[in-house]
Structure 1
Amino acid sequence: MKRYDLTKKEDGWALTGQGAQRASLKADTKAEAIHKTQAFMADKVGSVRIHKENGRIQEERTYQRKNDPRSSKG
């Protein structure tokens, strides 16, 4: 399962795949980035870690939902 991180950058928010140099998508606000991430992940299987502005992980989401491990919280 591929892992992505949604993090704050100097010019907004960016979704970057694990090991990738370039962002898969960018947005001005966190809310907009989350919305774009949902659309981006619609046909993919993976895990997205959403970070706070300070870099700490706020939450992790699994796409497609049916692929979420049963032992995870949430």
Structure 2
Amino acid sequence: MRKLAKGDIHTTKHGDRWVNKVEGNVRASNSAPTKAEAQAAGREMAIERGVEHFIHNKNNEISERNTYPRSRDPRSSKG
């Protein structure tokens, strides 16, 4: 079984493409021509790893953040 990096996933604009990068890695894990395609791939990566997925806008500001699995999300806890 392949060992997966545990860093959070960031979907960001890089040149004319959108990329997914795992925190702590130098290189992007994958790229796509559209934000929607890259975001879908980033979501799958985050779910598989059980980490957070940060989606950046064109200005590289975080515009959305999702935690996987949902049970790790403090907003979903009872109390």
Q: Does the pair score TM above 0.5?
A: yes
Q: TM-score range by the shorter chain?
A: 0.7 to 0.9
Paired residues in the alignment total 71
Deviates more, 1:40-49 or 1:53-62: 40-49
Name the structure where strand makes up a greater proportion of residues.
1
The whole-number CA distance in structure 1 between the counterparts of 2:67 and 2:47 is 11
Q: Which runs of 5+ in 1 are unaligned?
A: none
Matches of residues 20-59 of structure 1 in structure 2 within 5 Å? 20-59=25-64
Q: Give the RMSD, CA atoms, in angstroms.
A: 1.8
The whole-number CA distance in structure 2 between the counterparts of 1:15 and 1:43 is 14
Larger radius of gyration: 2
Confirm whether residue 5 of structure 1 aligns to residue 10 of structure 2.
Answer: yes
The whole-number CA distance in structure 2 between the counterparts of 1:24 and 1:53 is 19
Q: Which runs of 5+ in 2 are unaligned?
A: 1-5
